[in-house]
Amino acid sequence: MKPVTALIHHGYQAPPDFSAPQVAVHKASTVIFPNVQAMRERTWLDKKGYTYGLHGTPTTFILEERIASLEGAQHAVLVPSGLAAIALTNMALLQQGDEVLLPDNVYGPHKTFAEAELKRWGITYQLYDPMDMADLASRIHAKTRLLWIEAAGSVTLEFPDILAMVQLAKDKGLWTALDNTWGAGLAFAPFDLDPSSVSGRLGVDVSVHALTKYPSGGGDVLMGSVTTCDDGIAKQLKLCHMRLGLGVAANDAELVLRSLPSMELRYRQQDVTARALATWSLQQSAFAEVLHPALVNSPGHVNWCRLCAGDVPASGIVHTEGLAAGLLSLRFASQFSQAQLDTFCDALRLFKLGFSWGGPMSLVVPYNLPDMRKMAGDSLLQGGFVRLSVGLEAAQDLIEDIAQALVQAGM
């Protein structure tokens, strides 16, 4: 054998019984079959074999199983982003003539996807007020097929009554899909929303998760997952996933696998820091409103208590029990100008201007709510608005950063 051939077909094989704390990175487009029969009988649907890199390798199968465990699900598929997880769920479950319901505070690009893509395929959508069950019920018609839920809502962080929504959807024969990026599988169990129930498990049909956020934890990977406990839905998702060619790269899967063991520690730490910032912000006259579900005055606080804090009543203005993601939003007093708000954001030194969350670095994004919300109350739409995403820095440093930026902006 010439060296050039030996470099490809080498006689030495490493012994197979290697074991180490981290999962191996298996990279492949081509997967090699031992014989023709194995090639003809190939299947990847039940994770008992491999067919082609796009449909899974040991690395991605292992990550899928761990994400399914995190969410309390039976099945998971991985996709290249959280947004792709949203798109896949819609495409796998809906068909021409169907209607889908989205909360008014849904993740922004999901609204755009429904408006610009689903509509072209003959699938309509309606927005509903996530804090008004009567509004939601009034929007369910014969062609409504799927109810999307987000808790807490994007940017404004209202916490809806998920239990009541899932119950309503079941009564009306709708599927429910939850964008569980905020809860991350830690704050509550999407497939067992009422663990005290004796009449059986009540959960959503599908949970999507932007693994880009907490599971990655580094601000350096894009990935999403779709999980379910339903075998039929799982098959629909997997087949649609295959046909759309939505595989993920093994190196990206490796990064998420490496971060998963520390995920709960990071989530808890960012939660503690975010609540410290929220408590401090409540005392600052520059802010007309502080939004965080653990704050007694935040919209849907009681729903959050019930689902994430064991229904324990709060003893102060900030609940200290339960779990919440490290996000808070601040509405500025209405006397401040847009220019002052921009100066505030530019003056922050530790909070960087950037989208996403769940990474080590704190981030800030200014939002113009009147462009984003149809159903928000008038008071919410007054004054400038920023969302803070808390990183892993010390809380005191972050508080001092906000304080100095308020001074620089003359607030």
Which residues are at the interface with ligand PLP (CB under 6 A)? 81-83, 107, 154, 179, 181, 210, 212-213, 222, 224, 356
**Tokens of residue 234, six digits:** 């799982």
If the CB atoms of residues 279 and 303 are measured against ligand PLP, the closer one turns out to be 303
If the CB atoms of residues 81 and 176 are measured against ligand PLP, the closer one turns out to be 81
If the CB atoms of residues 181 and 207 are measured against ligand PLP, the closer one turns out to be 181
If the CB atoms of residues 113 and 351 are measured against ligand PLP, the closer one turns out to be 113
Amino acid letter at 356? S
Sheet containing 144-150: which strands, arranged edge to edge? 75-79, 224-228, 206-210, 175-179, 144-150, 99-103, 124-128
Q: Nearest-CA neighbor of 76 among 223, 182, 216? A: 223
Min dist CB 353 to ligand PLP, Å, is 16
The upper half-sphere exposure of residue 278, i.e. CA atoms within 13 Å in the direction of its Cβ, equals: 31
If the CB atoms of residues 325 and 341 are measured against ligand PLP, the closer one turns out to be 325
Residue nearest to ligand PLP (CB): 82
Compute the distance between CA of residue 275 and CA of residue 78 in angstroms, rounded to an integer: 32
If the CB atoms of residues 56 and 224 are measured against ligand PLP, the closer one turns out to be 224
- Going by DSSP bridges, is the β-strand pair 224-228/75-79 parallel, antiparallel, or unpaired? antiparallel
Min dist CB 222 to ligand PLP, Å, is 5
Compute the distance between CA of residue 344 and CA of residue 310 in angstroms, rounded to an integer: 37
Q: Please enumerate in sequence order all residues whose Cβ is within 8 A of that of 243, keeping only pairs 6 or more positions apart, or say none.
A: none
Min dist CB 186 to ligand PLP, Å, is 15
Compute the distance between CA of residue 11 and CA of residue 5 in angstroms, rounded to an integer: 11
The upper half-sphere exposure of residue 151, i.e. CA atoms within 13 Å in the direction of its Cβ, equals: 37
Min dist CB 301 to ligand PLP, Å, is 20
Min dist CB 111 to ligand PLP, Å, is 11
Min dist CB 90 to ligand PLP, Å, is 13
